[in-house]
Structure 1
Amino acid sequence: MYSIKEKLYHFRQLANPLAAEADLALLHEKNPQSTDFTRFDLAPCKNAEDILFALLDVADHDDIVRNRREFFSTQDTDSNDNPNPDADGGDGNPSPDVGGNNENPDAGGSDDNPNPDADTDGSGSEAPDDDEGQAADETPAVNPAEEEEAATTKKSASPKKKKKSTRK
């Protein structure tokens, strides 16, 4: 139907493994005597390229596009017949504002915590009370040796750059 050059051009335009089932149905309609159906029927997505290549021998580009549109439109109407049970307002999914209240309940009246915002680590969960979970940029009361150790471990975690070799 197409020359090799045209066939490859249309193949590149139409290549889509998600449309393999639609292409297979059209191939059954256009070329029912094909011997490749046993392989194609077992795994249409895996054989999508072969199905499309065989289909371009018997169908036009426009026929394939039209068939795919019809196939996906009927598939969409079939999926709309079964409504989503969680579509009633989000009872199954928590709202994105859940956990948005990350304030410390005694942030105003606590004397043992000089920085009331230091109780959260930015992820919405409270940081542990011991010094292991606190970041080095916070200002809790720690001794300088621990602070220096944390700074050196932070520096060693950065990736090293490769040296470029220069030819002389």
Structure 2
Amino acid sequence: MPNDTIHLRPAVPADIPLVLELIAGLAEYERLAHEAVATAADLKAALFGPRPAAEVVIAECDGQPAGFALFFVSFSTFLGKPGLYLEDLYVLPALRGRGIGRRLMVHLARLALERGYGRFEWSVLDWNTPAIDFYRSLGARPMEGWTVQRVSGDALRSLAANGDAGSAHAPATPPG
């Protein structure tokens, strides 16, 4: 709606319950609610502890919570510069189509440039056509030839415990 007042602000510790609600909404939308196990204590430590691992921007529409973006610093060895990695972007379903997601993305792009970062990137689920179309409208393009890899949970613990086990199958030069 053209008369909406959209305001973006950094999250503060008092926002942790709101951030958890927004994460739950995102997880439900992405059909991954079973994986959303973050607690208030987890977020407090990760966002506001002595070494914050990520930052959150809260979007408000007409003074009410509307969505959020959670991001952190990555690094490109090829560019020799940090980058901004968007972990999550979510706008409440009732408030979509009002430019809130676009405002969040523009804010993050500007933040990346202000900080001297060399890139702004994120992942999107391959079935999420509305998000993909939105990102394309912003000028984003897929990273052809790349797939996301992940080790977590038991596999992460096993890899850490076994050290060199399986290293014969590891690439001689990991990608940078």
TM-score, normalised to structure 1, is 0.19
Which has the greater radius of gyration?
1
Q: More helix by proportion, 1 or 2? A: 1
